[in-house]
Structure 1
């Protein structure tokens, strides 16, 4: 039996013991969260290093691929389509991105630009990449003619662009021009969605620049198909560089956020440790006073 004077001290000790157990449980949870955040930071840092390495190669490939786009610009500048027939033309929108994630808003930028373009002038839709397809299918499921996946895992090749162009010609229905909506690489920190127009063979033949020359129909047809493949290739490679750059930025921001979170959790952990130590000292002093 405890004396009447020792009972209050015993009650205080029991309360302190419960608080100590609760504090220890909280410390374990904080410690587990700290370990999880450290592991996440290691992953994001590794992914940032990988993206930085890939970005150098992607930028080099983009500079080479832009020559294809420059050739297309030269062609269409000298063979402008007459504006009188612009109202009745059939448009095929080609939204180009990729299947990969963890790259910020690279896919939603394409989706927003495509929705805006279709709202301004109606047309059919072709999509490169599973990510933009899942976003656009919610709104334009009936407009999607063809879609492509597995493109952009590495630096895109002209063979992939040619395969996409062939599929558009065969299975995307009739169209007078293709409007390619893709991400333009501005710098290592920024990008934006831009539209590139490629006209069909009939539109080329009807242009004033082409009518000055005598040529067979097959020539304009082959030229239009090659120009479409050129444009797709140039925009695929540029979009790939923009995606790698966005992924590098996203992983850097994720690493910085993980470091901030670790600092906050470490501060909570230290305060919890101090509270536990203070509680233990109170128990010792209370027990000594009771004795």
Structure 2
């Protein structure tokens, strides 16, 4: 049975954890508002080529998967969700598909599960709000990789609400399919790299918002768990302290009666 001193030390430790998680929750809440605004701007930015992609995306052919995660933890199962979705897509008749991974979290999982499929990996993702320049660099590496594909399938976390997200897939056609699409010239796009970068950018922004939301919820749950633990430990401490006082009183009364 734990002594009063041991319970007291546990209480102190859990209270410190509660302070940290509450602080991290406040920081995540502030970042979430910023991430949501940036996500909405990215969605507006991507509306121009979304209609074109729907008209031009091929139904079959070689596929390249871009898995959007980040390097950061303490976000619940958000990274596992896109990894599982990518695994399902690869297993569903795409065993030879090449995979590009954004973020070390999904990379560490896919290196074990599908090492032969990996084409490119990127880290330093999610430290700050993603920019279009980040997406353009990724798109440039993909187009210059020499990999053959008819379409790119971007696997990311779709932001549903401040407490919910879901793994989703958006398809981007390659250059040939884009040029054969109806009314292609009205979009004034000289190359498909912009279209790829645009889709990656929108997915990065939505995944970033979902990640911040997940982190906020994880810190909220951690704070509540710490609060419950503090209540339990405080009750044990109070009972132990009361028992110790009672024993001391009994000893004093017994000693006085013996005189």
Q: Which interval holds the TM-score relative to the shorter structure? A: over 0.9
Is 1:276 equivalent to 2:253 in the alignment?
no
CA shift for structure 1 position 206: 4.5
CA shift for structure 1 position 67: 1.7
Structure 1, unpaired ranges of 5+: 1-22, 214-218
Query: Match of 1:112?
Result: 84
Alignment coverage as a number of residue pairs: 255
Q: 1:186 and 1:235 mapped to 2: Cα distance?
A: 13
CA shift for structure 1 position 65: 0.1
CA shift for structure 1 position 144: 0.7
Query: Match of 1:17?
Result: none
Query: Match of 1:174?
Result: 148
| Contact kept? 2:56, 2:177, Cα under 8 Å | no
Q: 1:282 and 1:64 mapped to 2: Cα distance?
A: 72
| Contact kept? 1:146, 1:172, Cα under 8 Å | no
Is 1:235 equivalent to 2:235 in the alignment?
no
Is 1:128 equivalent to 2:107 in the alignment?
no
Structure 2, unpaired ranges of 5+: none
| Contact kept? 2:53, 2:171, Cα under 8 Å | no
Query: Match of 2:218?
Result: 250
Cα 1:119–1:48 shift into 2, 3 Å: same
CA shift for structure 1 position 151: 1.6
Query: Match of 1:184?
Result: 158
Q: 1:45 and 1:258 mapped to 2: Cα distance?
A: 10
Q: 2:146 and 2:25 mapped to 1: Cα distance?
A: 38
Give the alignment of 1:87-236 within 5 angstroms. Answer: 89-122=61-94, 123-171=97-145, 173-207=147-181, 209=182, 222-236=190-204
Q: Give secondary structure in 2 for the equivalent of 1:151.
A: coil
Q: 1:237 and 1:179 mapped to 2: Cα distance?
A: 16
| Contact kept? 2:56, 2:173, Cα under 8 Å | no
Is 1:45 equivalent to 2:22 in the alignment?
yes
Q: Give secondary structure in 2 for the equivalent of 1:37.
A: helix
Query: Match of 1:32?
Result: 9
CA shift for structure 1 position 223: 3.1
Query: Match of 1:266?
Result: 234
CA shift for structure 1 position 169: 1.3
Deviation >4 Å, runs of 4+? none
Q: 1:71 and 1:281 mapped to 2: Cα distance?
A: 81
| TM-align CA RMSD | 1.9
| Contact kept? 1:96, 1:180, Cα under 8 Å | yes
Q: 2:146 and 2:89 mapped to 1: Cα distance?
A: 18
Cα 1:193–1:78 shift into 2, 3 Å: same
Query: Match of 1:287?
Result: 255
CA shift for structure 1 position 80: 4.9
Q: Give secondary structure in 2 for the equivalent of 1:171.
A: coil
